[in-house]
Chain A
Amino acid sequence: MRSSLFVSRRAVVASVLAATVGLSTSGIAWAADPLKIGLILPLTGPFASTGRQIEAACRLYIARNGDIVAGRKVELIVKDDTGAPETTKRIAQDLIVQQKVNILAGFGLTPLALATASVATEAKVPMVVMAAATSVITTRSPFIVRAGFTLPQVTAPIAEWALKNNVKRVATLVTDFGPGLDAEKTFVKRFTEGGGTIVESIRTPLQNPDFAPFLQRVKDAKPDALFVFVPSGQGTAVMKQFGDRGLAAAGIKLIGTGDVVDDDILDAIGAPALGVVTSFHYSAAHPSPENKAYVDAFMKANNGMRPNFMSIGGYGMHLIYEAEKKTGGSNDGEKLVEAMRSMSWTSPRGPVSIDPATREPVQTV
């Protein structure tokens, strides 16, 4: 009894002391703390290429811009979530509780980002979404800022392009899951509003990347063009079979978002990729000096791997750096998000700014 009383008294004294010391020095102490960024990505499994691209881009950004920002050393903690939402959320919790990270970043797929949103809100830690592209994500937490892109944003322009270029009848082929339906909805809406007709709307199962029967149906419907949206990685199969089935020879144009001609897999697609018209916010062939320098540095650092649209989301590290500079090395999540809200800069993809109201990127597509 006596000893426990003694311990507790000593503990009280110690904690009071610690608190006073902490208070008086905190102003200086945290400016010198390392800036810990928890980067959570799918690095194994079917979406590993997304993770690899983003990780490489983040490391490249740090290599090119120095690992000190606003007087703080940048510490990048990379974790693999295997693409399972509960693992993403658990890692985010662990990173905050154990490592006390200041910023969460990464998030390869929509469910991974949605599962973690509540952690960001509860811990008041900014969460920079670099890849996941469904439009609802940023509404789930006031601490989410998107560095990548949203699907409606990149789909609308291709519908307008089709209308302007005398394409009247279009068949759509999308993968049957959230982002695919998002893309189909946006395209059909824009295209029919502009006076075009949709002759066929096909949804392919997520699990089954054999497109031959679907493409045959498209061929029989004889549209002017085929609009395609498939998850990153399945593009190769669509393009190859599009050529093999003689759709190109039948005069059907292939249009879509940039996913189908992902720069990372362009070499695997080969000749059929010529003559495809896509709309996207990034291409490794974009002729700006910023982009040329970026692509060269990226390929040099990664054994000739070509950066794709996912990597450019990772290069959104810029947001984190600038927010730190603006706030003078703050740890306050609210302040950091506030600083990110109205940022604009010239990225390798062209001019980008963050919409202060929605925390979504505004960019040239």
Chain B
Amino acid sequence: MSALPTQRWSKLEIGFWLIPMVAFFVFPKYLTLGSQILIAALFALSLDLILGYARIISLGHAAFFGIGAYTAGLLAKYGWGEPISGLVAAAAVATLTGLVTSFLVVRGQDLTRLMVTLGIGLMFYEIANQASWLTGGVDGLSGVEMKKLFGVFSFGLDGRTAYLYSLAVLFVVFCFARTLVRSPFGLSLRGIREGERRMPAIGASVPRKLIAVYTVGAGIAGVAGALLAQTTQFVGIDSLGFPRSAELMIMLILGGTGYLYGALLGAALFMLLQDYLSNLNPVYWQFWLGLLLVLIVLFARGGLMGGFIALRRRFARGRS
């Protein structure tokens, strides 16, 4: 019995990461959509860390997304348009906000957390609305001007830079998250998920670990928000809104919680379906999306990843 899950990459995982790279060459006209899928995936990844691994239910995760977006957007608007340092700054601000609010969140249980996170999200929305001299309020923050990435690649109409930039950031953050959940810290999170009351018995401080993972999740959400602000060069107040938190939850449940890859798959499926269905019928497409969600919850427990793993198990059993 090995103490820790292996950090080695399986062939399936490597194959998975080849998909977005191939997509870059195969669908050169869909790169803008592609970059927004990658950003949604990163955002979903951040929620998976806190919901899938630590089972903190959050309905206000968009708060950190929005804070990251406004940080990067404001920096670029007032002259600091260098993308990577903007990203780091956004991550720092979101992490700090996550740390401060985490003390409120870890105190309660599920229902309390639901309300507290919802409240935090609404508060930040209202702050951005009131501070319209800074954020542009409901009209959104425009006039965001990005410098070229590495001084060479500009963010143009074709979306090539935006796509590769988002992909690179997603991959780096994913590697970090993957290492994290396979570390002793990640295992203790799983312990908390499975039996929160028993964890203190083996000497683990539950609140401290929850605070840590919530803070990390907030930081990653901030990076996702900053990416969106930088690649679209605009920040709408809806980046802080409740619908974004709710949509994020749908993506994650579609893909499956607690696998990391579920977040990526869910975001991709949701965004692609949204694009495809709304092209078929721009008015009634949400019906089909709702139907799919109901079907997945009924028949594929654990979302896409859950269904996939169940299938693979059945296949393996059939062979042996």
A115 on the B face (CB < 8 A): yes
A115 with B232: CB separation less than 8 A:
yes
Closest approach, in angstroms, between the C-beta of A210 and any C-beta of chain B?
16
B138 with A206: CB separation less than 8 A:
yes
Instruction: Give the B-binding residues of A (Cβ under 8 A).
Output: 41, 43-45, 48, 52, 78-80, 82-86, 89-90, 93-94, 96-98, 110-111, 114-115, 117-119, 122-123, 134, 136, 140, 176-179, 181, 205-207
Closest approach, in angstroms, between the C-beta of A258 and any C-beta of chain B?
20
Contacts of A178 in B (CB 8 A): 132, 136-139
B234 with A97: CB separation less than 8 A:
no
Most-contacted residue by chain A among B238, B239, B279 (CB, 10 A):
B238
Contacts of B139 in A (CB 8 A): 110-111, 114, 134, 136, 178
Name the contact of A122 in the complex, choosing from B156, B159, B238, B286 (C-beta under 8 A): B156
B233 on the A face (CB < 8 A): yes
B137 with A177: CB separation less than 8 A:
yes
A123 with B228: CB separation less than 8 A:
no
Contacts of A177 in B (CB 8 A): 129, 137-138
A181 vs B131: C-alpha distance in the bound complex, in angstroms? 13
B237 with A111: CB separation less than 8 A:
yes
Contacts of B122 in A (CB 8 A): 207
A44 vs B36: C-alpha distance in the bound complex, in angstroms? 20
User: Interface residue count for B (Cβ, 8 Å)?
Assistant: 35
Contacts of B159 in A (CB 8 A): 93, 97
A85 with B29: CB separation less than 8 A:
no
B129 with A86: CB separation less than 8 A:
no
A85 with B138: CB separation less than 8 A:
no
Contacts of B129 in A (CB 8 A): 176-177, 206
Select from chain A the residue with minimum beta-carbon distance to B69. A86
Contacts of B36 in A (CB 8 A): 86, 90
A90 vs B228: C-alpha distance in the bound complex, in angstroms? 11
Closest approach, in angstroms, between the C-beta of B238 and any C-beta of chain A?
6
Closest approach, in angstroms, between the C-beta of A90 and any C-beta of chain B?
5
A78 vs B140: C-alpha distance in the bound complex, in angstroms? 24
B282 with A78: CB separation less than 8 A:
yes
Name the contact of A79 in the complex, choosing from B32, B232, B282 (C-beta under 8 A): B282
Contacts of B110 in A (CB 8 A): none
Closest approach, in angstroms, between the C-beta of B221 and any C-beta of chain A?
16
B157 with A115: CB separation less than 8 A:
no
A83 vs B129: C-alpha distance in the bound complex, in angstroms? 17
Could you write out 6 A-B pairs with CB less than 8 Å apart? A82-B278, A85-B140, A110-B139, A111-B236, A115-B142, A122-B157
A44 vs B288: C-alpha distance in the bound complex, in angstroms? 13
Closest approach, in angstroms, between the C-beta of A12 and any C-beta of chain B?
21
B238 with A79: CB separation less than 8 A:
no
Contacts of A134 in B (CB 8 A): 139
A365 vs B139: C-alpha distance in the bound complex, in angstroms? 25
Closest approach, in angstroms, between the C-beta of B269 and any C-beta of chain A?
17
Contacts of B238 in A (CB 8 A): 83-85, 111
Given A80-B285, A136-B139, 15 other A-B residues pairs in contact with their CB atoms under 8 A: A41-B282, A48-B283, A80-B278, A86-B234, A86-B239, A90-B36, A93-B159, A94-B33, A97-B32, A98-B30, A119-B157, A122-B157, A176-B129, A177-B129, A178-B138
Closest approach, in angstroms, between the C-beta of B236 and any C-beta of chain A?
4
What are the nearest 6 A-B pairs in CB distance? Answer: A111-B140, A85-B236, A177-B138, A80-B282, A115-B234, A178-B139
B194 on the A face (CB < 8 A): no
Closest approach, in angstroms, between the C-beta of B217 and any C-beta of chain A?
22
Most-contacted residue by chain A among B136, B157, B279 (CB, 10 A):
B157
The 8 A CB mask of B95-136 against A (1 = contact, 0 = none) is 000000000000000000000000000100010011010001
B196 on the A face (CB < 8 A): no
A346 vs B239: C-alpha distance in the bound complex, in angstroms? 41
A94 with B140: CB separation less than 8 A:
no
Contacts of A41 in B (CB 8 A): 282
Contacts of A94 in B (CB 8 A): 29-30, 32-33
A117 with B142: CB separation less than 8 A:
yes
Closest approach, in angstroms, between the C-beta of A173 and any C-beta of chain B?
17
Residues A43 and B282 in contact in the complex (CB < 8 Å), given A86-B228, A94-B33, A111-B237: yes
A119 vs B159: C-alpha distance in the bound complex, in angstroms? 12
Name the contact of A90 in the complex, choosing from B29, B32, B136, B236 (C-beta under 8 A): B32
* Chain B contacts with A in 199-251, Cβ cutoff 8 A: 228, 232-234, 236-239, 243
Contacts of A98 in B (CB 8 A): 29-30
Name the contact of A80 in the complex, choosing from B32, B126, B283 (C-beta under 8 A): B283
The 8 A CB mask of B15-50 against A (1 = contact, 0 = none) is 000000000000001101100100000000000000
Select from chain A the residue with minimum beta-carbon distance to B282. A80
B140 with A114: CB separation less than 8 A:
yes
